[in-house]
Structure 1
Amino acid sequence: MQAPSTGRLSHASALAGAVGILVFANLANNLWFPSWILVTAPVCTGLLVLLLFRAGGDRADLGLARGSLGTGARWALALIGIVAAGYLCAAALPATRHLFEDTRNEGLTGAEVLLKSFVMVPVGTVLLEEVAFRGVLYGLILRMRGPVPAIVWSSLLFGLWHILPSLDLASDKPALNSTFGGSVIGTVLVELGTVLFTAAAGCLFCLLRRRSNSLLAPMGLHWATNSWGYVFGYLIGALTHG
């Protein structure tokens, strides 16, 4: 690990600061003032990037080097298309169609679905989470320890990040509620499953960033898995209920 120059943060200090910012963002977005997520998410994203740069990082550490933007954009577009095709198949099959049901989205209008898919998800979720976990945390740990620890630790933190957002998941998703809803044990199992699943997803996102040399690739996949879910869920509901 390189010693910081005068006025520059050490990598360890920047990493601790980044974790602190993410703890604040998680509490703010899920408990304290969730309606302000379109403000808190970009502000926290900017602070995280500032920490990385203060620790000697650059655009390459963030995954947004100019030379890799084109490759990353092509990866992102391809992944968005693949996810859309997969969701279309799942929506067309009766055996998997019910997986799109979510009580949190009942009663949403088409305009609200568009707002969620093209504003709330990219700004409130994807921007912060990808810059934080596959950009700043990954970049700092990569400089300190190398690629494997960068993937493992950033992904583990990504899994823990999802504890608060998934507290009501067992009751919100009918597919889970029938098995896990209504009990403490069921909630714990869903929480554990969510942490493990999102940590595994974090590993995949890190590998995409590493393979494409760009943050745009995991950003594209992350947006697609979240936003297409809203879109297809809405379309299935509209077709089913007229």
Structure 2
Amino acid sequence: MTVETVGVGHSVNSGLGHASGLHRIRAAHAWLDVAVVVAVLVSTNLIAHFTTPWASIATVPISAVILVALTRRRGLGWAELGLSPRHWRKGSLYALASVGLVLAVVGIGIALPLTRQFFMADRYATISGALIASMIVIPLQTVIPEELAFRGVLQGTLSRVSGARGVFAAGSLMFGLWHIASSLGLTTSNRGLTGILGGGFVGQVLGIAGAVAATAAAGFVFTWLRRRSGSLLAPIALHWSLNGIGALAAALVWHASLG
């Protein structure tokens, strides 16, 4: 009887040890996935901003597609990526609400003289240029690829190794740091920011720090929308609204100032 009991105990302990070993292996693989995603994002950002003009156009969309394909092969499901059809309806409702809110805020912003100057960005000085940017360039080159990469792939992989707080903190920080390179000339191209921060080195540093903080905060909201709706549709809609509607508003303000 004693021998049998010892045998059963040994079997249970072996089973627990085997399960624990498998858990550690899966955790290591999950962390490896996160590390690979972060490495690809960093490389993508550097290539897109510090190589050729063609690379700046194509690198981010191509990397986003590669990341989705790679993590799908690693076992990430469509729901983990925010791409499951089951969440399209809820995602659409949050998307419509997000667009409506941004329209209201931007409308108030360009109506008030105090905030109108912040919409005067040189690159959106024409209506036609702003339309092309908001309807083609921004969605295809920026919004959709970034949401696939950050709220899809990065959030999906982070969710396998961390709780909600870790996902929100790491995802938001990464999204803020992602915008350092694109913010290098921010204070020289925006009249409102130049007037407040100045156009010198200190102004440039303050502009970059402000852009990182603002985009990290935006990333937090995008992450919340993705988590709340279960779909990428909501953060894509809000992200496009902030960039696309902002571009159209900038063109309208420039046009009105010239008239």
Number of residue equivalences: 236
Matches of 1:31 and 1:145, distance apart in 2: 32
What is the aligned-residue RMSD (CA, Å)?
1.8
Q: Determine the C-alpha separation between the residues in 1 that align with 2:88 and 2:132.
A: 26
2:65 to 46, 50, 59: 46
Aligned to 1:121: 138
> For residues 147 and 52 of structure 1, what CA distance do their matches in structure 2 show?
20
Preserved CA contact (<8 Å) 2:134 2:247:
yes
- Give me the whole-angstrom Cα distance separating, in 1, the residues matched to 2:119 and 2:47: 27
2:231 is paired with a residue whose SS is coil
| Structure 1 residues 154-185: Cα deviation after superposition (integer angstroms, max 9, x where no partner) | 11111110100001111111111123223322
Q: Which structure has the bigger radius of gyration? A: 2
What corresponds to 1:174 in structure 2?
191
Residue by residue, what CA displacement relative to the aligned partner does 1:72-116 show, whole Å, maximum 9, x if unpaired? 01211221122112111211122221111012323x3x3322110
Q: Say whether the 8 Å CA contact 1:130–1:215 is kept in structure 2.
A: yes
Counterparts of 1:24-35 in structure 2, within 5 Å, are: 24-35=43-54
Aligned equivalents of 1:56, 1:175: Cα separation in 2: 47
1:145 corresponds in structure 2 to 162
Residue type of the partner of 1:102? Answer: A
1:56 correspondence with 2:66:
no
For residues 32 and 120 of structure 2, the distance between their equivalents in structure 1, rounded to whole angstroms, comes to 43
Query: Normalising by the residue count of structure 1, what TM-score does the alignment of the two structures yield?
Result: 0.91
Moved more, 136-145 or 170-179: 170-179
Corresponding letter in the other structure for 1:126: V
Q: Any runs of at least 4 consecutive aligned residues in structure 1 with deviations exceeding 6 A, and if so which?
A: none
Residue among 37, 50, 57 paired with 1:18 = 37
Identity of aligned residues (%): 38
Distance 1:178 1:10, change over 3 A: same
Work out the CA distance in 1 between the residues paired with 2:176 and 2:240. Answer: 17
Equivalent pair of 1:29/1:36 in contact (CA under 8 Å): yes
How much does 1:35 deviate? 3.8
Deviation at 1:236, TM superposition (A): 2.0
Question: Is residue 38–residue 123 contact of structure 1 (8 Å, CA) maintained in 2?
Answer: no
Structure 1 window deviating more from structure 2 (46-55 vs 165-174): it is: 46-55
| Cα pair 1:10 1:55 within 8 Å, conserved | no
Say which of 203, 211, 218 aligns to 2:228.
Answer: 211
Q: 2:206 aligns with which of 189, 195, 201?
A: 189
Runs (5+) with no aligned partner, structure 1: none
**2:17 aligned residue:** none
Q: Deviations over 1:206-242 (max 9, x none)?
A: 1111111111111100000000111111122222323
220, 223, 242: which one pairs with 2:240? 223
Matched to 2:239, the amino acid is H
C-alpha distance in structure 2 between counterparts of 1:200 and 1:166, whole Å:
16
- Contact 1:41–1:123 (CA under 8 A) maintained in structure 2: no
TM-score using structure 2 length? 0.85
Q: SS of the residue aligned with 1:143?
A: coil
Counterpart of 2:147?
Answer: 130
Structure 2 segments unaligned to the other structure (5+ residues): 1-22
> For 2:199, what is the secondary structure of its paired residue?
coil
Alpha-carbon distance in structure 2 between the residues aligned to 1:82 and 1:2: 45
Q: How much has 1:40 moved relative to structure 2?
A: 2.1
Paired position in structure 1 for 2:107: 88
- Indicate the SS of the match to 2:109: helix
